[in-house]
Chains A and B, each alone.
Chain A
Amino acid sequence: MIGRLRDEGGAEVFRLVNERVRLGILSALAVTEYLSFAELKQTLGVTDGNLSIHARKLEEAKFITCEKTFQDRRPLTQYTLTPRGRAAFERYLGHMEALIEAMRKPT
């Protein structure tokens, strides 16, 4: 079933989004305008290194953008969901809902 959905929705997108931390980043950014690195880390309960690695992968896929500025002379990294990222997230959500729906239907 997942295999069929992957083929229909794009295996690459599925692989990227299906990982927990990356899915968490997209989910958190889907309901906020932007989140700082610290806020994302607190929300997801992950380490700096883990968050950095997964955020970079999403950046490379152009699913999120990263803006680095300074606040009170301290570096501030903020992430925003791109339209492409939102579309991928919604597509993934649709896949998961379709899976559950398909399992509920009597065979």
Chain B
Amino acid sequence: MPNSEEPSRTHEHALSQLRYIRSTMDGATRFTAVPGTGMAVIGLTALVAAALAQAQTTRDGMLLVWVGEAVAAAGVGLAALVLKSRRAGVDLARGSARKFVLALMPSGICAAAVSLALAVHEQTTLIPAVWLTGYGSAVIAAGTHSVPTVPIMGAAFVVAGLAALFVTPQFQNALLALSFGGIHIAFGIHIARHHGG
């Protein structure tokens, strides 16, 4: 009797070991998905954008500079994510890395849509707050698939966004510089030093 049960037990053992390997690999990639160095570079480009935005004579000009910065930052972030994943041998289309990228999207898309609506209705003073809270929420959501530092960084952006609701428009550029620049640089360096680049 025990002999007839052995193939089944062996099969179960092999399946169980493979499941364990897969879940462990998935868990381990939490340490590799977020590119700290890339985030620090995004912070530096944000500081450059803030200086350019400050030189604009109109509010629309200032916001357009930041839109350009968002596009540049997305490019830098994506390139850094791909480079770091390749170096670590992580497939971005699978596991935690995929979940991380997908989790960024809902809040990001909503923030973009609300910003567009506010621009159409000429309510542009609210746009920086929407960017910061939207980006912060996206990072918090994505951070659940990453190291604990990432959701904390997202929360910092949400706090900055809430502050942006109440500061006068002339301080909004400084607040964007402090958050998109300062928070990215500080957390980027921390992640690069403690979580593999």
Q: Taking beta carbons and an 8 Å cutoff, which residues of A are in contact with B?
A: 1-2, 18, 20, 23-24, 27-35, 39, 43-44, 71, 93, 96-97, 99-100, 103
Contacts and interface: CB of A to CB of B under 8 A. Distances in A.
Contact of B88 (A23, A27, A33, A43): A33
Q: Per DSSP, are chain B's interface residues mostly helix, strand or loop, or mixed?
A: helix
Determine chain A's interface SS by DSSP, over half rule.
helix
A83 B72 CA distance: 38
Given A27-B21, A103-B7, A34 B28 contact: no
Nearest to B22: A27
Which interface residue of B10, B29, B30 has the most chain A CB atoms within 10 A? Answer: B10
Contacts of A32: 28-29, 31-32, 88-90, 196
A99 B101 CA distance: 35
Given A27-B21, A31-B25, 19 more contacts: A23-B20, A27-B20, A27-B25, A28-B25, A28-B28, A30-B25, A31-B29, A31-B32, A31-B88, A32-B32, A33-B87, A43-B30, A43-B31, A96-B17, A99-B10, A99-B14, A100-B11, A100-B14, A100-B15
Contacts of A28: 24-25, 27-28
A103 B11 contact: yes
B18 interface: yes
Q: Interface extent on B, as a size class?
A: 20 to 34
Interface string B81-93: 0000001111000
A95 to B, nearest CB: 8
A20 B11 CA distance: 16
Given A35-B31, A99-B10, A24 B18 contact: no
Contacts of B25: 27-28, 30-31
A97 B11 CA distance: 10
B10 A93 contact: no
Contact of B31 (A23, A30, A39): A39
Nearest to B17: A96
A96 B20 CA distance: 12
Given A20-B20, A32-B29, A2 B10 contact: yes
Contacts of A97: 14, 18
A39 B56 CA distance: 46
22 contacts: A20-B20, A27-B24, A27-B25, A28-B28, A30-B89, A31-B28, A31-B90, A32-B29, A32-B32, A32-B90, A33-B87, A33-B88, A34-B196, A35-B31, A43-B24, A43-B28, A71-B193, A71-B194, A93-B21, A96-B17, A100-B15, A100-B18
